[in-house]
Amino acid sequence: MSTRKKIIVIDDDKTTITMLTMILTKENYLVMSALDGEEGLEMIKSELPDLVVSDVLIPKIDGIDICEKIKKDPYLSHIKVILMTAIKNIMIQKEARTCGADGFIEKPTDSRQLLTMIKNLLEAS
């Protein structure tokens, strides 16, 4: 049985997905990705990852709504969620806390900071 933690990355920017996939795979995480919120939410429901890293502003279902859906669903609520955005807006950070996000990070993402956050969240669960 695999002990690798499963992470789903949701972002409409393929460069961000590629970068995060490389960083996380190097740390021995099993990484999957989606380019929009609808695809990401379906993947979350079918794959039951340990953690989701989602951009806030993505097509179809935004990151805030994905987080709310995960945290309100008893079957999914154990999944850790990190939201990220390039928009420097205090209201978005407030929404991220309100929806139940376990972490929030600004883009461009500092990979060391993100890895530390992921490690701490996964060890706590």
Q: Would you give the distance in Å from CA 16 to the centre of its chain?
A: 12
User: Is residue 23 one of the residues assigned to a domain?
Assistant: yes
Residue 115 domain-assigned? yes
* pTM (predicted TM-score): 0.94
Q: pLDDT means per 10 residues in the chain (125 residues)?
A: 86 95 96 97 97 95 96 97 86 83 89 94 87
Q: What is the pLDDT of residue 1?
A: 46
Tell me how far apart the alpha carbons of residues 91 and 36 are, in angstroms, rounded to a whole number.
22
Residue 118: count other Cβ atoms within 10 Å of its Cβ. Answer: 24
The boundaries of the domain holding residue 76 are: 6-119
> Residue 50 is part of a domain; what is its CATH number?
3.40.50.2300
pLDDT at residue number 2: 56
Structure tokens at 92: 């978005």
CA angle, 67 then 69 then 73, to 5°: 120
Question: Is 124 within the bounds of a domain?
Answer: no
Q: Which two tokens stand for residue 34?
A: 């989606």
Between CA 65 and CA 35 the distance in angstroms is 15
Which distant-in-sequence residues (6+ apart) come within 8 Å of 117 by Cβ? 82, 103, 105
| Cis bond upstream, residue 59 (ω within 30) | no
**How many structural domains compose the chain?**
1
**Do the domain assignments include residue 1?**
no
